[in-house]
Structure 1
Amino acid sequence: RQYVMNHVYKKLSASNGNEQQEAPRKETPAVDMNESQALAILGLKAGASADDIVRAHRSLMQKLHPDRGGNDYLASQLNAAKELLLKNHA
C-alpha cells in the first residue's frame, strides 16, 4: 500500500511541478501497554527469554502482517509488545 501511495503522490507532484517533495511519513501511534499485556499479546509467560520474544513476534507477524491479510492495528500491537518486552528484558 505504501509503495502505491508513494507512487501516486510522486505522479501527482510531477504534474504540479513539485517533483522534489516527498510523501509525508505515517507516524506510528503511541501504544500504552504494560508487561503483562505485552506477554498476553505475544502468548508468552513471565520470564520469557529474548529469543522466545523474538520467535513469538515473528510467528505472529507472519500471520497478522497487513500484507498477509492482517491490519495495521494488530501489527502495531505486536511491535509494541515486542519492543516493551525486549526493553524490559535488557
Structure 2
Amino acid sequence: MKFLVALAVIAAIWWLGQRRKQAVLTSAEARDLLGVSTRAGEEEIRAAHRRLIGRVHPDAGGSDALARRVNAARDILVAELNQNRR
C-alpha cells in the first residue's frame, strides 16, 4: 500500500513538472503567438489575447494545451510591461 501511495506522489510531481515546462515561453514567442509588436501596450496585448482565446478555447473546439499557451503568453507580456514600468 505504501508503495502505491509513493508511486502516486511521484507520478503527480512528474505530471506537474511536465505541465510547467509546456507553458514556458520567451517574450518573442509570446509576441509571435499573440501577433503583437514589441511596442504593444497592455490594452493591445489583452485585445489580441481575447481574439485568439475565443478561437482556441476548449469550449470553442480548441485544446487545453493551446489555451494554456495563449494565457501564458498574455501573462508573460503583461508582467514584462509591469516590470518595465518600475
TM-score by length of 2: 0.70
Q: In the alignment, which of 45, 49, 55 is matched to residue 37 of structure 2?
A: 45
**2:65 paired residue among 45, 59, 73:** 73
Root-mean-square deviation over aligned CA pairs = 1.5
- The number of aligned residues is 64
Deviation at 1:45, TM superposition (A): 0.9
Q: Which runs of 4+ in 1 moved over 6 A?
A: none
Identify unmatched segments of 5+ residues in structure 1: 1-26
Alignment of 1:1-80 (within 5 A): 29-30=19-20, 31-80=23-72
Q: Give 3-state SS (helix, strand or coil) of 1:32's partner.
A: coil
Correspondence for 2:79 among 77, 83, 87: 87
Choose between structure 1 and 2 for higher RCO, CA contacts under 8 A separated by at least 6 residues: 2
The whole-number CA distance in structure 1 between the counterparts of 2:26 and 2:56 is 21
- Structure with the higher fraction of residues in helix conformation: 2
Q: Which runs of 5+ in 2 are unaligned?
A: 1-15
Tell me which structure has the larger Cα radius of gyration.
1
